[in-house]
Structure 1
Amino acid sequence: MPTLYVDADACPVKQEAARVAERHGLVIVYVSNGGLRPSRDPMVRHVVVPGTADAADDWIVENAEAGDVAITADVPLAARLVEREVHVLGPTGRAFTPASIGMDVAMRNLKQDLREAGEIKGYNAGFTARDRSDFLQALDRTVRRAMKESKD
C-alpha cells in the first residue's frame, strides 16, 4: 500500500488529505517544523523536523518510495519526488509529472527571478473552494492509481 506524505507547513488541504487517506485505509504522514496537533489515529503520523531550510523536504525525499503519494506546493521538492517515481500533487490538485516537471521548475525559477528584480509582486492567488474541490478529486484519482499500481 502506498503512503501519503504531506509537506504540512502552510498546507491548506491537510484535512482533505486525511479524509482521502482514511477512506482508502492509507497511512498519512504530516512532515513539518512543528505546530501541528497530534492525532490518536494510528494511521496518522506526525514527523517534526528541525527548523532548518529544507529539513522537511529532505525527510520526505529520504522516506518516500516509488508509488507513494505526496502533497506539496514546493516545486523543487516536487521535482525531487517525481525523480523518485512518487505521485505528486499540489494543493490545487495539479499533478507534477515527469512530463511537466521541467517546465514547472523553469517557470518557478523565472518567477523568482522576476520577483527579485521587482518586475512582479510575490502574491499568490487566493485558495478557493474550487481549488479544494479540484484537489479532492485529483487526490482520490491519484490514490486509486497508486493503489492499483502497487497491486500489479
Structure 2
Amino acid sequence: MYVDADACPVKKEISQIAKKFNWNVYFVASYDHKPKELQENGEWIFIDAGKDSVDLFILNRIHATNVLVTQDIGLASLALAKGVHVISPRGKVYNEESIQIALDFRYLSAKERRQGRYGKGPKPFTSKDRNNFFQTLSGMLSEIAGD
C-alpha cells in the first residue's frame, strides 16, 4: 500500500488497518513535509521537494493490486489506469466513472480560479470522514484478501 503522505490526515488509521491485514505500507512524502516523529508503522520514503515529485515516485513503483491512499485526483487517475485500488482520506473509492467526474470538477474549478473566482475550498475534515475512511479501507482490504 502506498500513501501520498504529504497532507494525509489518516496515517494512524492506515497503520492500524495495514497491521491488521498484514500489508506493507509505504508513506511517501517530500522532505518539506517530514514529520518530527514517525509514529506510524510502515516504511517512510522522503523525496526531494519539487512539483509532482512524490506523485512521480509513487507512479514509478505502484502496480496492479496495490492500494493507493491519496487526495490528489490526478495521481488517482493515473494509478487507476494501472489497475491500482484508489481511496481518498475521506473514504471515497475511485473507479473509472467516479474519477472522470472528479477530473471534470477539478478542471471546472481551475477554470474558475483562472478567472479570479475562488470557492470556499474543501470542507473541514471530520471524525465522520475518519470513520468512513477506516470502514472503507478495512472493507477494501478484506475484499482483496477474499475474506
* TM-score between the two structures when normalised by the length of structure 2: 0.91
Matched, 1:5 2:28: no
Q: State how 1:118-133 maps to structure 2 within 5 Å.
A: 118-121=116-119, 123-133=121-131
How big is the shift at 1:119?
2.4
Give the SS at the match of 1:142.
helix
Q: List alignment gaps of at least 5 residues for structure 2.
A: none
Give the Cα–Cα distance (whole angstroms) in 1 for the partners of residues 77 and 103 of structure 2: 7
How big is the shift at 1:115?
2.2
Which residue is equivalent to 1:67?
65
The percent of aligned pairs where both chains have the same amino acid is 28
Q: What amino acid does structure 2 have at the position aligned with 1:128?
A: T
Give the Cα–Cα distance (whole angstroms) in 2 for the partners of residues 83 and 119 of structure 1: 32
Matched, 1:102 2:97: no
Matched, 1:140 2:143: no
Count how many residue pairs are aligned between Structure 1 and Structure 2.
Answer: 144
> Which consecutive segments of 4 or more residues in structure 1 shift more than 4 A?
none
* TM-score between the two structures when normalised by the length of structure 1: 0.88
104-113 or 31-40, which moves further after superposition?
A: 31-40
Which residue is equivalent to 2:16?
19
The structure-2 alpha-carbon separation of the partners of 1:82 and 1:38, relative to structure 1 and needing over 3 Å to count, comes to same
Q: What do you get for the CA RMSD once the two structures are aligned?
A: 1.7
Give the SS at the match of 1:6.
strand
